[in-house]
Amino acid sequence: MSRWLELVVLHRGLGFFGCTAQHSFVLRCVIGIGAMSETNTVASLVKRVESDGPIFEVSNGLLGVFCPATVTDIEAANSKNATLPHRLSDFLPGQRHQEPPLWTDIRQALQIRSRQQNCRKFLEPLHRRMRASLDLATNANADQDLTMLVGKMISESLIPLVVDGMGRKCAQAVERDRIHKVETMISNAHATSGLSDKLKEALIQISAGRAIKAHMVKLRNGSVRQRDDFARAVLDFDENLTADRAAYLVTTILTAIVGAPGTVAAGALFELIRHPHWADMIAEEFRSLSEDELYDDLPRSVPIAHQFAREVLRLWSFPLITVRRASCPIEVRDFSVAEDGHYCLSSYVTHHNRQFWDNAEHFDPERWSSRKTVKENGAYVPFGWAPRTCPGAALGLSQLLLFMQLMTVEYAVRLKDPHKLQKKLDGLALPQGLFGQVVRR
């Protein structure tokens, strides 16, 4: 049997121990609510929407919802009163009890910090960190898995924006966890891992969670200097937020940066290689910019690159399928689900729906030259569905554009076998055959 399992993200959020193992970031697995058959891979779901309509049973009672307007209403209803999960300390006698805050309030605080970071003060160092990683790759002077390289480079460069100024041991624990997650996600090395491998994985994640908690305690008591990172935004959000909950939020963000930013960037590299004419136009556009324009006016200063990036985000959706737990009973239009029931969404399915897109399967950045590209509100959701869109969307787009600048102006790729380059949907959208060397131009 082919490896058909879809990547799903399920934030059930038990999270008792403040470690990333509790985030239920499910990689290549079935989540215990009914295995999806091969007929329910994401490509098949696209066809089923055309034949069965936008709402249907995916498997064993799990409903798939692929109507943009309905999804928006469902997400609003499911998010309205959603809170952070309870912690173990909430149930222990003698401990300080605290009602968990609303996710909507937390997301707003994180969005503000993301916008603050989307400027030259933060983007220029981010650009330098990505360049330093690529320099190391060129010095290796050897063929390597470039999808893995990009995944590690992108997530590594984002760490200081999430949590900066960590001590050596804390940073090492977080780094081990980050690398393990990237390798698991991209190589699928642990899809058939045994008990000892799973135990090792859990210990790595618990170690990272404890390290983050210790760092948050030091930030709170002033023993380490606060930086303009997401960790500070978490503490500023609520001065009474417990260390457990603060660590949970930071580890949630650290888990998030391992996924979409790197896989989408790998997708952008794939498309730049396949469309050299667009790569040349993008390089010319970036070369015409001053440093101020590069860092202070993205994406307006690069309309051609922005068109390309928007099309990458449309066709390289992450994750392919998202499974949600209903935090309350939901009844919207033709959809209903009980509290603690589940439903699934897919930006990939929506982005490939011919009802909303002309030549939906075709990579065509030119489509974004028209303001009427998106035929229905909610049909383009590269950063998720409102009101649960990614709080780092603006910063993520800027990083993607800066990565494209590096790969069109400063560096090039020499593939070992260009004929093997293809897009693979196996849990997530990833380039296959992206193997070769990075060289300086």
pTM (global) more than 0.85: yes
Radius of gyration of the chain (CA): 21
Domain limits for position 350: 8-440
Helices (H) and strands (E) in the chain, counts: 15, 13
pLDDT digits (tens, 9 = 90+) for 371-396: 767 777 889 999 999 888 999 999 99
Q: Is residue 18 part of a domain?
A: yes
Q: Which of the two residues, 425 and 229, has the higher pLDDT score? A: 229
pLDDT digits (tens, 9 = 90+) for 185-221: 888 644 556 788 788 888 999 999 999 999 999 999 9
**Which range in 13-17, 43-47, 143-147 is most confidently predicted, on average pLDDT?**
143-147
Q: Is residue 3 part of a domain?
A: no
**DSSP letter string, 84-110:** PPP-GGGGSTTSPP-PPPBHHHHHHHH
Q: Is the peptide bond before 387 cis (omega within 30 degrees of 0)?
A: yes
Q: Is residue 55 part of a domain?
A: yes
8 Å CB contact between 151 and 262: yes
Q: What is the pLDDT of residue 378?
A: 86
Residue 179: name the closest of 152, 208, 203 by CA. 152
Neighbours of 331 (CB within 10 A): 11
Q: What is the pLDDT of residue 188?
A: 66
Q: Is the per-residue pLDDT at 238 higher than 90?
A: no
Q: Is the per-residue pLDDT at 422 higher than 50?
A: yes
Q: Is residue 431 part of a domain?
A: yes
Q: Is residue 2 part of a domain?
A: no
Neighbours of 134 (CB within 10 A): 21
When divided into structural domains, the chain yields a total of 1
Q: Is residue 341 part of a domain?
A: yes
Q: Is residue 174 part of a domain?
A: yes
Euclidean distance between CA atoms 409 and 414, whole angstroms = 15
Q: Is residue 406 part of a domain?
A: yes
pLDDT digits (tens, 9 = 90+) for 87-144: 666 666 666 666 788 888 999 999 999 999 999 999 999 999 999 999 999 998 889 9
Q: Which of the two residues, 287 and 12, has the higher pLDDT score? A: 287
Q: What is the pLDDT of residue 372?
A: 67
Q: Is the per-residue pLDDT at 29 higher than 70?
A: no
**Residues 6+ positions from 434 with CB-CB distance below 8 Å:** 145, 146, 147, 266, 269, 270, 273, 413, 415, 421
- CATH code, domain carrying 160: 1.10.630.10
Euclidean distance between CA atoms 143 and 407, whole angstroms = 17
Q: What is the pLDDT of residue 360?
A: 93
